[in-house]
Structure 1
Amino acid sequence: MKFKFASALLWLLHLIPFRVMQWIAVPLGLLLFFIVGRRRKVGLTNLQLCFPEWSEAQRRKVLRQHFIDMTSSLLGYSILLHGSESRLRRLILRKDFENCQAVHDRPIIMLVPHFLGLDYGGLAYTIDYPGSSMYAEQRGVFHEISLKIRSRFNDPILIKRSDGIRPIVRTLKSKLPFYYLPDQDMGPQQSIFAPFFGIQTATLPMLGKLAEMTGAVVLPVITTIGKGQIISRYYPAWENFPSGDMLADTTRMNQFIEDIAREHPSQYYWLHRRFKTRPEGEASVY
């Protein structure tokens, strides 16, 4: 019942052009910045750790823009859920897709860090091609909406995070691309510490493991929010990966994410407690 009600509201919302949604997102995003104090504090702490050379005013400016970009992204989920295929093709621009086509005959791990447009990029791919991805079970209607969006085209395989690595290996060995979101703090049991913005950061080392086990290439895909449009950019497949050195491979991944976050600082997801797990003896940064 809740899903049907939310879906109906999103159907009404999707009638609005995305550019107008972005105008609406400015006051709404600024309102969220001021009223969601706990997440604002997490975001400012992350930015202080990652950009110590910035002034406090600059960090607050970037985080305000982050809330605006995030709000426009969330409003646009109405289009992901209800928009026609032709509208989605106009909304989401795939750039440098030839980098993906160049390795289509091999298993592909699409490296998709937590930038705000990641669900747009995933849907744009599955309009034309089958694929797979992993999801974490969450409470509430947004979880149902998210799964519905990801399932709209080409019957993608959606793997629960709790199901572990085996289903991912099977899909990759069948040459079904895997849309992989690697950059969240999953705790000390599953992680190793690798530098990210110069900070020892608990990071899943699964990228190198998966590539080694399946012979897959790693193809970064970064999707960002532009003016009136979403840009999903495909980077060249990584060469000399995996290296056989788990820490080096994980560090390479973190360095790539850091480089893109510096290019698009308002669009990386700063509201996650990315540095929650600390090396033994270090105090919490939050």
Structure 2
Amino acid sequence: MFTRLILRVIEYLAYLPLSWVRGMGVVLGWLLYLVVGSRRKVVYINLRLCFPHWTQKQVRRCAVQTFVHFAQSWLDRGWLWHAPAEVTRQRIRLTGALNELQGSEPVVLFAPHFFALDAGWTGLTQQISRRLNTIYTDQANKDSDAWILRGRARFGAPGLFGRVDGVKPIVAGLKRGEPLYLLPDMNFGPHESLWVTFYGATAATVPSLSRFARLARAKVVPVVSRITSEGYEVKVMEAWTDFPTSDLLADTALMNQRLQSYIDDMPDQYYWVHKRFKDQPDGKHPPY
């Protein structure tokens, strides 16, 4: 009941000016930073591992902004999924190599876990003519799970595949010309992952980007979404010309390397609240 109430409040935020919603996000973000000590610790550990050259002041500034952007992105889902369609279209700006999305060629969209990831998905499903698919991870809370699924299905009749659905329907969709919006940069456990470096630290990383691209003979197009004062910018980049190769490990390491360059451009918008290094090889103790 409490979750439903919170989600209903977020829906009502769709009718407020964006500046008000973002201001609420600042307050909520600071509150989360101060109160949720366990997750604050995770953010600090991640930042110190990935940016050892930063001063304590730089780490703290980025940590605070991480919580602020986390909160803002959650409150923004109210208007992303419940405001009139013209509001969503006005606030989400697609930029970059949009020509990469034309035609019917198989495309895997590499969409890293920036806080704007749902805005990227919403903007693409609303503003391009092709049907998109993505892979969905079930949420522990059933009310949140249903709410998120409805929101992500708002535009374009997309395909929302669960991890239990396997790869066959996903590859079939790619071969039909339906781009796959893929977020492979989280720790999904060691069983299907490879050990590759991420900012110099060992991280369990799923090789799904290379695997799907090879199975469907698809090109890989990065999509980096950013929170802006006007809403969101969803930047479509040029397709990678040297990806995939026959070396799954090298491909996955290259994915992380290029992801780092995207993060370096806006480190406070990346999903540092996640325990990216929780699994380690050879029984090594995780840093958390």
Q: Which TM-score band applies after superposition, normalised by the shorter structure?
A: over 0.9
Alignment gaps of 5+ in structure 2: none
Structure 1 gap ranges (5+): none
- The root-mean-square deviation of aligned C-alpha atoms, in Å, is 1.6
The answer for the alignment partner of 2:98 in structure 1 is 98
Q: How does 1:4-83 map to 2 (within 5 A)?
A: 5=5, 8-83=8-83
Cross-structure match for 2:123:
124
Partners of 2:97 and 2:238 within 8 A in 1:
no
- Correspondence 1:1-286 to 2 at 5 A: 5=5, 8-101=8-101, 104-128=103-127, 129=129, 130-140=131-141, 141-286=143-288
Q: How many residues align?
A: 285
* C-alpha separation in 2, matches of 1:230 and 1:159: 25
Contact residue 99 and residue 235 of structure 1 kept, 8 A: no
Distance 1:121 1:50 in 2: 25
For residue 8 of structure 1, report the CA deviation from its aligned partner. Answer: 3.8
**Distance change >3 Å, CA 97–CA 148, structure 1 → 2:** farther
Partners of 1:2 and 1:64 in 2: CA distance: 26
CA distance, structure 1, for counterparts of residue 206 and residue 159 of structure 2: 22
| 8 Å Cα contact 1:81/1:145 also seen in 2 | no
Q: Is the 8 A contact 2:104 2:176 kept in 1?
A: no
* Worse overlay, 114-123 or 93-102: 93-102
SS at match of 1:231: strand
| Kept after mapping to 2: 8 A contact 1:22/1:228 | no
Deviations 1:216-263 (A, max 9, x none): 110100111111321100010110211111111101110111111111
**Contact 1:42/1:272 (8 A) holds in 2:** yes
Task: Report if the CA contact (8 A) 1:110-1:220 is conserved.
Answer: yes
Q: After superposing the two structures, state which structure 1 stretch, 9-18 or 260-269, moved more.
A: 9-18
CA distance in 1, matches of 2:11, 2:223: 28
Give the distance between the partners of 1:272 and 1:47, measured in 2 at CA: 11
Q: Which amino acid aligns with 1:246?
A: L
Work out the percentage of aligned pairs sharing the same amino acid.
35
The letter for the 2-side match of 1:157 is G
Deviation at 1:4, TM superposition (A): 6.5
Deviation at 1:167, TM superposition (A): 1.7
Q: In the alignment, is the contact (CA less than 8 A) between 2:198 and 2:256 conserved in 1?
A: yes
Q: 1-side partners of 2:210 and 2:12: how far apart?
A: 44
| Cα deviation 1:92-132 (Å, max 9, x = unaligned) | 11111424235x33101000110000011101111133110
Task: Supply the distance in 2 between the matched residues of 1:11 and 1:74 (Cα, whole angstroms).
Answer: 11
Secondary structure in 1 matching 2:39 = helix
How far apart are the structure 1 equivalents of 2:195 and 2:9?
Answer: 43
Secondary structure of the 1:194 match is strand
Q: Displacement of 1:9 after TM fit? A: 2.4
1:127 is paired with a residue of what secondary structure? Answer: helix
Residue 76 of structure 1 aligns to which amino acid in structure 2? Answer: D
Q: Secondary structure at the match of 1:105?
A: coil
1 CA distance for matches of 2:244 and 2:224?
Answer: 20
Would the alpha carbon gap of residues 71 and 241 (structure 1) be closer, same or farther in structure 2, given more than 3 Å must change?
same
- Alignment partners' CA distance in 1, 2:45 and 2:4: 38
**Deviation for aligned residue 1:205:** 0.9
What SS is found at the alignment partner of 2:269?
Answer: coil
CA contact (8 A) 1:3 1:144 kept: no
Cα distance in structure 2, aligned partners of 1:139 and 1:155? 24
Q: By how many angstroms is 1:142 displaced?
A: 2.0
CA separation of 1:6/1:25 partners in 2, compared to 1, >3 Å: closer, same or farther?
closer
